[in-house]
Amino acid sequence: MNPTDSPAPGTSRRQLILTGAFGAAATAFLAACAGTKDNSSAGQSGADPTTTLAAPDAPLEDATEADLAYNTDLMRTATTLELTAALQYETYGPTLENAEWKANAARFAADHTATAAEFRQATTPAEHRVDNPNEFLQTNTIDPIKDQLTTDGAILNFFAGLESTLAATYIAAVGSYTTTDGRAMFAGFSEAAARRNALMNNGGVGGPPTSALYPLEDLIPNEAYDTVIKADPGAAE
């Protein structure tokens, strides 16, 4: 939720600022602030052409056992992030003075709770599903600033930063998850988070994107990933 939370240098699999992730970043960021537009193309007359052809899926490499384990870790982590987001909206949303933003916060809390359930259901094997907020982010990123969340502007900026953390982390996951369904899931929820970020940033004023690529400096640190097998601190990456 701030630039200091980016992964430490030298990380391997989780430092996922890759070409595929940037492609998803462009999609999510442009969609976040896109308004309605005319569906017709310049110079076109008559109805839009139709086709029965569908774009082929890009082939994915065969998943290794380690890849499948990382899929599990990504789904577990996303579950904890959504539960953390819901908790913050439930905690600080009611303290907002603006009635419209208070209502939005309640709706966003419900959205995140529902999204957490989707990520949890998608976690396999089922015995590795989790139902707790992300303890690392709560303790190291959120609790240290809670005494600053006393005005609507500060709270909305906090919510916007939280959504940016989700968007960046999910965009990175698109470049790493090993199935098209999982990638689509992360891409869809990254777009939703990017939209909420665009709505609430600048203290609720919002603002258009300044780049086609979503900024990934809010990617969560390695310690915030909820892994099945905890890394040995003395082991080399």
- What pLDDT digit, counting tens, does each position of 139-148 carry? 999 999 999 9
Number of independent structural domains in the chain: 1
Residue 16: inside a domain, yes or no? no
- Cβ-Cβ contacts under 8 Å for 209 (sequence gap 6 or more): 29, 30, 32, 33, 198
| Positive/negative CA dihedral, 107, 160, 7, 188 | positive
| Domain assignment present for 33 | no
Q: For residue 231, give the nearest of 6, 9, 13 by alpha carbon.
A: 13
What's the token pair of residue 228?
């099945």
At residue 40's C-alpha, the angle toward residues 53 and 28, to 5°, is 70
**pLDDT tens readout for residues 169-200:** 999 999 999 999 999 999 999 999 999 999 99
Structure confidence at residue 50 (pLDDT): 47
188 occurs within a structural domain: yes
- CATH number of 99's domain: 1.20.1260
Look at residue 10 and tell me if it is in a domain: no
CB 164 within 8 A of CB 218: yes
Q: Which pTM value belongs to this model?
A: 0.75
Domain annotation covers residue 21: no
Range of the domain at 81: 66-124+132-229
Check residue 82 and give its pLDDT: 98
**183 occurs within a structural domain:** yes
Respond yes or no on whether the N-terminal peptide bond of residue 3 is cis (omega within 30° of 0): no
Give counts: helices (H), strands (E), the chain.
6, 0
Q: Is 111 a member of any domain?
A: yes
Q: Any residues with CB less than 8 A from the CB of 234 and at least 6 apart, and which?
A: none
Q: Residue 20 falls within a domain, yes or no?
A: no
Measure Cα distances from 61 to 68, 73, 108, 113, 180 in Å.
Answer: 12, 19, 36, 33, 11
Count how many residues are written for the chain: 237
